[in-house]
Every structure is written in C-alpha cells, then in structure tokens.
Amino acid sequence: MKLLKHIATIRAGHAFRGKIEEIPTGNTRVIQMKDVDAERGIDWNGLVVTDLPGRKQPDWLKNGELLFAARGNRNCALLLEDVPFDTVLSPHFFHLTVKCEAKVLPGFLTWQINQEPIQQYLQKSSHGSMVQAIGRQVLEEMPLAIPPLEKQHAVMALNDVWHQERRVMAALTDNMQRTMTGIVRQMLREN
C-alpha cells in the first residue's frame, strides 16, 4: 500500500479571483465541473475561454496527467489524453501528475481512484453540508495498492475490454429500442 502523496504531485486547480469571465479572444480554456462526466470524459468544445492575469506561469494540463473532481457526489478521476488547448482546472479540481519514480501507469491510477473501495474512502472522508468536498489532506492520504507494472498493464487491458463490451451492449440496446419502435409504428399504420 502507498499513499497518493507518494505516487503523485497534487496541485489545486487555478485560483480565480471571483467569477470566471468568458473572453472569446482569450488565451486559455478552463475545465469546470459542468464540463466533466465520469463516463464521457471532458467536453473540450464546451470549455469557457478566458485570459489568465498575472505573471505566474499557470499549471497547464498535459497528456498523461489526471484531474480529480473534489466537489460533488462523485469524486472521479479522469486521465487527460489529447489535450487540445492551453487549459487549466477551476478550483473545484485537483491536478495530479504521477511521479516518475512511482512506477505507476496514470491510467491505472485513474482506474483505481474510480473503483468502489476508493470511492467509499472518499465518501467517508468528505465534508460539507450542502455540497460534499474532498480536502487536499484526504486526497494525499488516500491508500492505494500498487502492483508491478505488468499487472497494471493487465488490469488496464481488462478494463479496455470491459469498456468495449459496454459500448457494444449500449449499441445493441439502442438498436433493439429502434426495432421495437419500428414494429409499433408499422402496427399503427396497418390499423
């Protein structure tokens, strides 16, 4: 078992002063809670465009990093792949970068954070009366099982097969629904 703070660098989302202003000619895009879905990923085309003031270089998101939704009912992690723009996270997220020496696949870390045992840990550790939130210390102290890289690759391959099966089942279900609708329409035309 290892703690997340030993596996990844954890940074808070970008600190905006006040509301994130939309500036269509801006140089930055911002991922907010509304842009993230655990199943579908990030709605890159829906991101707010803005300008970041100040001289400090922002923590731009990079491929292979993770975002962690620290607010709401589902505290999911998403692996960043094919980041198309200069993008930062809103303050409702944590930005995770796997440490090279940790020997952990970013996809494996994402997968494990989203599994039920870790989700239960997060749910027990969250705070807030109206909206649940995960604090940095809770995230840093998250216990994780880190097997050898070969096993991580095997788990990721199995996860890929499972996702493919879910897509096929969804397509079959959708096709059957259209077939049933077609049968009813045909019956209504015949009467």
Total of domains in the chain: 2
Task: Count the Cβ atoms, other than its own, within 10 Å of residue 162.
Answer: 10
Q: Which residues pair with 28 in a beta bridge?
A: 50
Q: Which residues pair with 88 in a beta bridge?
A: 30
Query: What's the pLDDT score for residue 163?
Result: 85
The answer, yes or no, to whether residue 180 has pLDDT greater than 70, is yes
Query: What's the pLDDT score for residue 123?
Result: 87
Residue 69 near residue 76, CB atoms below 8 Å: yes
Last residue of a domain, one of 131, 146, 161: 146
Q: Which residues pair with 93 in a beta bridge?
A: 69
The residue type at 27: N
- 81-103: per-residue pLDDT in tens? 999 999 999 999 999 999 999 99
Q: Are residues 33 and 91 in the same domain?
A: yes
- 98-157: per-residue pLDDT in tens? 999 999 999 999 999 999 999 999 988 887 766 778 999 999 999 999 999 999 999 999
Q: Are residues 124 and 163 in the same domain?
A: no
Give the angle subtended at the CA of 6 by the CAs of 67 and 8, to the nearest 5°. Answer: 20
Average per-residue pLDDT for the chain: 91
Query: What's the pLDDT score for residue 153?
Result: 96
Backbone phi, psi, residue 88, to 5°: -125, 170
Q: Which of 185, 86, 104, 92 is nearest to 145 (CA)?
A: 104
Q: Are residues 31 and 18 in the same domain?
A: yes
Which structure tokens are listed for 9? 């660098």
Mean pLDDT within 39-58: 87
Query: What's the pLDDT score for residue 56?
Result: 77
CATH code, domain carrying 46:
3.90.220.20
Q: Are residues 9 and 21 in the same domain?
A: yes
Binned at pLDDT 50, 70 and 90, residue 10 comes out as very high
Query: What's the pLDDT score for residue 74?
Result: 78
Give the Cα separation of 43 and 64 in Å (integer).
17
Domain that holds residue 125: 2-146
The answer, yes or no, to whether residue 43 has pLDDT greater than 90, is yes
Query: What's the pLDDT score for residue 130?
Result: 65
* Residue 47 per-residue DSSP state: P
